[in-house]
């Protein structure tokens, strides 16, 4: 059975590792008793537990504290330290920490820049992996298993013990623990040739929040992706890594060339920036900027140390340097040939001739008080800019300070930003590591030094990466932003998250509506991510046998979270692995599995043809399983109808586990799943769709008008023509807040956003005839292919690769609430203004009204052709959505109540008897089923709003195919009871 997805594990560990708890004075005693009860050998675990009463407690705690800022007497201390000898002892610690409301901090080497592996402001336990450091090197297969408590020095030593021509690419400090270093990236002196450590990890062992030991296969590719650069501590306890070893030459060459300002250091570093990322990939040259004494007059100056590793012999290196960087004047006497393992000692600062055994010493050469920061440089910094930052190093109060410039390029630039969470790839010339350190323990000295490095960081703003200002996760910096002590919103976490991970942060945080991602939200007992239909059949059978509900998720976009939340014991069947797409160009059809996204479908169609497409929604991460079964409105719906109008077959597993197609399921059930919500009737496996012909060129435009630019009159006029335009044209209107171009004050903006299935020269006369008031000009329009229009409406920048459609990660998650309405008569200008005025509320963070036109093909199809009934007579649909960033209940309630007030205000202006709604904009305010059996009368409260008269037929189909109501949720179609059968319903 597959294990929980990355999102579930991440949120589970947020719950365990990041929530503030109130612990009693007896908490640690209860915890110790729990450990004893849940350990295979209580005597054995007692030997690896340290409490403040234990005489060894402080020495164990302080042994791996590298930053003395977090070793003061006032620093919060753990209630218990566990130094496990076996995995089962970690499992017990996780279980007991959950039971007794304590956080867990995991320490492998103790080098976290902000002490987060051994400090917390709430009651906590340290799991110190110092005893789990075995290393098994397999020379024959060039791999190794290394436990997370091992250090880099131990790993390098054990590799070199077996071979002189095998090595590994990671950092230079031998006392750094591999558990944290690898999970944050792992840059080192061979990274330009072989990438960083995470690029060479091929398997891992992890204990999840439920105490299960997972490997790559059982954890799944999402979680395996996340722990390789996303920080393992967010997702579980890393036990071990399996790494791919690399071939190193028998001889490598190292050199360190020092140049002071008087020896032309400024010009040399300035020149270095233009070539550092372009050198032969066998060469990596770092630059250290430090204070020094001038050789000319003994006064303070600055020294640039060009420190390099070349994977080859000196006679090969010198011509390369002469060609690429002659200005450095590198001579043969500057260079030293040695083995790769000897170079490890060289860069770690050990004297020549030091025994390799020093790599087995886990003790740092000395703890210091320090603060670090980092930046990425994408454009060379001017000499003036460099000098400006270096001048700050002259401050007499500074005790120790260093800037380190580490080059990128080579293999680092060849790997995609999204290959692992570590995103710092192509386009980065070098990373800057700023560090300041001092020897005095007093708070005033610490504050002065920390404020100094913050001033440096501020000065560097114009010269480094922007949007975001990127940082390296292994140089952790809490100045970038921190989580709340309790629940933290996506918005707050993204302040620091995008700086470390850029767009990968969204995948690390992958739940669509965060209202249903709180720790208090009910979680599934099991998540199944089937690779084959038989695994779904087994899940259905076992869920029935053991009285559990099934929730089916394809893309996770259900507005009310019904595909992944239930208040009764439940199982999620997540179809993420069932997403194959087969396009048949000859017959203009395609089979698409329900776990595929709309983006993946569009991509695969365009891969085969420039003149075929499909009519469905605009958000590329929406899953086709739910979207098609709820209708599937999109930008070509006025020409070709909705997705459900173009489905010609389907595969479904019913309540009895049978796999049915259109013929075997019958026309009633085939009718029901095309707009009636497939989750009420079974598990949709796949759809067969009829592809549509699209022109080689389509035209798009977005015209924005504020209130001061006559927006009210334009939208009012739009209502009279939106459903009557040429069917090749679909023009939506977004209503949003904006700043007035006239006085900068808040105003309302209407964005008229359109797709025309034809060229601009055909469009303009149509617009001049139908909607001259908009004053559309040729310059407003862009001609492009249909598939490019998909990216345009999804909000991607011009020139974005089509490959972005294969990314299943949303561009951002949020807390949100949506509602919908249908408009049958134009709303007066006064009525429009009244609703728009509600958008001015200062408490609102993000809000939008979307008006989507109907008419055309939508009006030609009968209301009863599919369960989707919104056909002739509807001018447009309104989608209201409000979003917010704070996780607290009060903020959620305020926003939800706000959108309810909007909905109430709109009552006189929208459809009546029933007040209709679009099923894909799910809204539990319309009504919900009972937790047990639901009557027809109760379900019809919400059912007729989504389906109008089609609700009765849906109930009959449900009664026929699932009379026991196994497939159910808060808004699923109920089977009719025997009482209602007697009434003839």
Domain boundaries, the chain: 27-128, 138-247, 252-339+358-478, 514-574, 581-693, 700-776+815-907, 927-977
Average pLDDT over residues 398-416: 96
pLDDT at 29: 77
pLDDT at 926: 93
Beta-carbon contacts of 337 under 8 Å, excluding residues fewer than 6 positions away, are 251, 252, 253, 313, 314
Beta-carbon contacts of 391 under 8 Å, excluding residues fewer than 6 positions away, are none
Task: Check 376, 603, 921, 946 and give the catalytic one.
Answer: 921
Average pLDDT over residues 200-216: 93
pLDDT at 156: 98
**pLDDT digit string, tens, across residues 316-370:** 999 999 999 999 999 999 999 999 999 999 999 999 999 999 999 987 656 789 9
pLDDT at 685: 97
* Cis geometry, peptide bond prior to residue 433 (ω within 30 degrees of 0): no
**pLDDT digit string, tens, across residues 9-52:** 343 343 343 333 333 345 667 888 888 888 777 667 778 999 99
124-128 vs 103-107, strand pairing mode: parallel
514-574 fold: 3.30.43
pLDDT at 44: 73
**pLDDT digit string, tens, across residues 908-924:** 999 999 999 999 999 99
Q: Taking the domain 700-776+815-907, which CATH number applies?
A: 3.40.462.20
- Residues 406, 309: Cα–Cα separation, whole Å: 12
- pLDDT, the chain, mean: 90
CB 136 within 8 A of CB 90: no
H or E element: which one contains 860? helix 857-860
CB 677 within 8 A of CB 551: no
How much of the chain exceeds pLDDT 90, in percent? 71
Was domain 581-693 assigned CATH 3.30.465.10? Answer: yes
pLDDT at 813: 58
Instruction: Give the CATH class of 27-128.
Output: alpha beta
User: Is 80 exceeded by the pLDDT of residue 428?
Assistant: yes
- Residues 714, 712: Cα–Cα separation, whole Å: 5
Same fold, 252-339+358-478 and 700-776+815-907: yes
CB 756 within 8 A of CB 731: no
CB 5 within 8 A of CB 576: yes
Average pLDDT over residues 670-699: 96
Known catalytic residue at 603 = no
CB 166 within 8 A of CB 246: yes
As given in the structure block, the two tokens for residue 550 are 């099934």
Q: Any idea which residue has 């303070």 for tokens?
A: 300
At 616, is the pLDDT very low, low, confident or very high (cuts 50, 70, 90)? very high
pLDDT at 932: 65
| Residue 342, helix vs strand vs coil | helix
CB-based burial, 865-901: b 16+ in 10 Å, e otherwise: bbbbbbbeebbbbbbbbbbbbbbeeebbebbbebbee
pLDDT at 491: 62
User: Is 90 exceeded by the pLDDT of residue 297?
Assistant: no
The pTM score is 0.58
Q: Which residue has the higher pLDDT, 308 or 984?
A: 308
pLDDT at 118: 86
- Residues 119, 139: Cα–Cα separation, whole Å: 39
Q: Which residue has the higher pLDDT, 136 or 504?
A: 136
User: Is 50 exceeded by the pLDDT of residue 512?
Assistant: no
Q: Which of 51-65, 847-861, 953-967 is predicted with the least confidence, judged by mean pLDDT? A: 51-65
Among candidates 544, 188, 238, 563, which has minimal Cα distance to 340?
188
- Residues 596, 603: Cα–Cα separation, whole Å: 11
252-339+358-478 fold: Vanillyl-alcohol Oxidase; Chain A, domain 3 (3.40.462)
pLDDT at 31: 82
User: What stretches of 445-569 adopt beta strand conformation (E)?
Assistant: 526-528, 549-553
Task: Tell me the CATH number of domain 138-247, given options 3.10.129.10, 2.40.340.10, 3.30.465.10, 3.40.50.300.
Answer: 3.30.465.10
User: Is 70 exceeded by the pLDDT of residue 511?
Assistant: no
* Cis geometry, peptide bond prior to residue 468 (ω within 30 degrees of 0): yes
**pLDDT digit string, tens, across residues 554-601:** 887 888 877 777 777 888 898 989 999 999 999 999 999 999 999 999
């Amino acid at each position: 059975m597959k294990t929980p997805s990355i999102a579930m594990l991440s949120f589970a560990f947020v719950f365990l590792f990041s929530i503030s708890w109130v612990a009693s004075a007896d908490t640690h005693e209860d915890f110790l008793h729990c450990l004893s009860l849940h350990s295979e050998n209580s005597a054995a675990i007692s030997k690896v537990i340290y409490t403040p009463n234990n005489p060894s407690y402080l020495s164990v705690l302080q042994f791996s504290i590298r930053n003395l800022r977090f070793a003061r007497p006032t620093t919060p201390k753990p209630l218990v330290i566990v130094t496990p000898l076996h995995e089962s002892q970690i499992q017990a610690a996780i279980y007991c920490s959950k039971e007794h409301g304590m956080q867990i901090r995991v320490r492998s080497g103790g080098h976290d820049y902000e002490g987060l592996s051994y400090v917390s402001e709430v009651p906590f336990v340290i799991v110190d992996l110092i005893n789990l450091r075995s290393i098994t090197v397999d020379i024959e297969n060039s791999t190794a298993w290394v436990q997370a408590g091992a250090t880099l020095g131990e790993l390098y030593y054990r590799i070199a013990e077996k071979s002189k021509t095998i090595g590994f690419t990671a950092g230079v400090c031998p006392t750094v623990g591999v558990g944290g270093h690898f999970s944050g990236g792992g840059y080192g002196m061979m990274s330009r040739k072989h990438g960083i450590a995470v690029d060479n990890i091929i398997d891992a062992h992890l204990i999840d929040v439920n105490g299960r030991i997972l490997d790559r296969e059982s954890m799944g590719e999402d979680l395996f992706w996340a722990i390789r650069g996303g920080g393992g501590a967010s997702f579980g306890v890393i036990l071990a890594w399996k790494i791919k070893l690399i071939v190193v030459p028998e001889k490598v060459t190292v050199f360190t060339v020092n140049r002071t300002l008087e020896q032309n250091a400024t010009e040399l570093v300035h020149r270095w920036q233009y070539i550092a990322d372009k050198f032969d990939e066998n060469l990596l040259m770092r630059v250290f900027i430090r204070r020094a004494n001038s050789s000319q007059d003994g006064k303070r100056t600055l020294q640039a140390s060009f420190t390099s590793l070349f994977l080859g012999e000196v006679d090969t290196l010198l011509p390369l340097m002469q060609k690429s960087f002659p200005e450095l004047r590198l001579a043969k006497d500057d260079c030293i040939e040695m083995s790769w393992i000897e170079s490890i000692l060289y860069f770690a600062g050990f004297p020549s001739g030091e025994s390799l055994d020093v790599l087995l010493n886990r003790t740092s050469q000395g703890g210091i008080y320090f603060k670090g920061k980092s930046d990425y440089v994408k454009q060379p910094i001017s000499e003036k800019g460099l000098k400006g930052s270096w001048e700050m190093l002259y401050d007499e109060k500074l005790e120790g300070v260093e800037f380190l410039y580490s080059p990128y390029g080579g293999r680092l630039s060849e790997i995609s930003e999204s290959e692992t969470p570590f995103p710092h790839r192509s386009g980065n010339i070098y990373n800057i590591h700023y560090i300041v350190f001092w020897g005095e323990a007093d708070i005033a000295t610490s504050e002065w030094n920390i404020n100094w490095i913050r001033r440096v960081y501020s000065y560097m703003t114009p010269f480094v990466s922007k949007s975001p200002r990127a940082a390296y996760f292994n140089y952790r910096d809490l100045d970038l932003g921190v989580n709340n002590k309790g629940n933290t919103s996506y918005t707050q976490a993204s302040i620091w998250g995008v700086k470390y991970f850029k767009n990968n942060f969204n995948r690390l945080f992958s739940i669509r509506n965060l209202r249903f991602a709180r720790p208090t939200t009910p979680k599934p007992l099991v998540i199944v991510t089937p690779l084959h239909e038989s695994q779904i059949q087994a899940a259905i059978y076992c869920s029935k046998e053991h009285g559990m509900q099934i929730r089916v998720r394809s893309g996770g976009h259900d507005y009310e979270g019904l595909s992944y939340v239930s208040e009764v014991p439940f199982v999620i069947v997540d179809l993420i692995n069932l997403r194959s797409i087969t396009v048949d160009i000859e017959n203009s059809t395609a089979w698409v599995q329900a776990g595929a996204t709309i983006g993946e479908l569009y991509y695969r169609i365009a891969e085969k043809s420039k003149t075929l497409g499909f009519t469905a929604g605009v958000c590329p991460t929406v899953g086709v399983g739910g979207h098609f079964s709820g209708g599937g409105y999109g930008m070509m719906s006025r020409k070709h109808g909705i997705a459900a109008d173009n489905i010609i077959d389907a595969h479904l597993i019913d309540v009895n586990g049978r796999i049915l197609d259109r013929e075997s399921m019958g026309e009633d059930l085939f009718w029901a799943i095309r707009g009636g919500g497939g989750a009420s009737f079974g598990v949709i496996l796949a759809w067969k769709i009829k592809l549509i012909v699209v022109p080689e060129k389509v035209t798009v435009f977005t015209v924005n008008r504020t209130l001061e630019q006559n927006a009210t009159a334009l939208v009012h006029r739009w209502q009279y023509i939106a459903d009557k335009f040429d069917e090749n044209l679909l023009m939506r209107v977004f209503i949003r807040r904006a700043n007035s171009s006239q006085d900068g004050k808040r105003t309302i903006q209407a964005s008229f956003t359109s797709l025309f299935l034809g060229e601009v020269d055909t469009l303009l006369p149509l617009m001049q005839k139908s909607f001259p008031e908009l004053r559309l000009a040729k310059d407003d329009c862009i001609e492009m292919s249909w598939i490019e229009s998909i990216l345009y409406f999804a909000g991607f920048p011009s020139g974005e690769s089509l490959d972005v459609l294969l990314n299943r990660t949303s561009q951002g998650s949020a807390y949100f609430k949506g509602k919908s309405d249908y408009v049958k008569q134009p709303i007066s200008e006064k009525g429009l203004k009244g609703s728009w005025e509600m958008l001015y509320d200062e408490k609102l963070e993000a809000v939008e009204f979307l008006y989507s036109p109907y008419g055309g093909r939508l009006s030609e199809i009968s209301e009863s052709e599919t369960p989707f009934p919104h056909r002739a007579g509807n001018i447009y649909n309104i989608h209201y959505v409000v979003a917010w960033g704070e996780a607290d209940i009060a903020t959620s309630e305020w926003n939800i109540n706000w959108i309810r007030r909007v909905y109430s205000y709109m009552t006189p202006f929208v459809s009546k008897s029933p007040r209709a709604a679009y099923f894909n904009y799910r809204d539990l305010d319309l009504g919900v089923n009972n937790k047990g059996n639901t009557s027809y009368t109760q379900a019809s409260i919400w059912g007729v709003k989504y389906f109008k008269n089609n609700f009765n037929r849906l109930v009959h189909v449900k009664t026929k195919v699932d009379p026991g109501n196994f497939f159910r949720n808060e808004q699923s179609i109920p089977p009719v009871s025997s009482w209602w059968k007697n009434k003839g319903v």
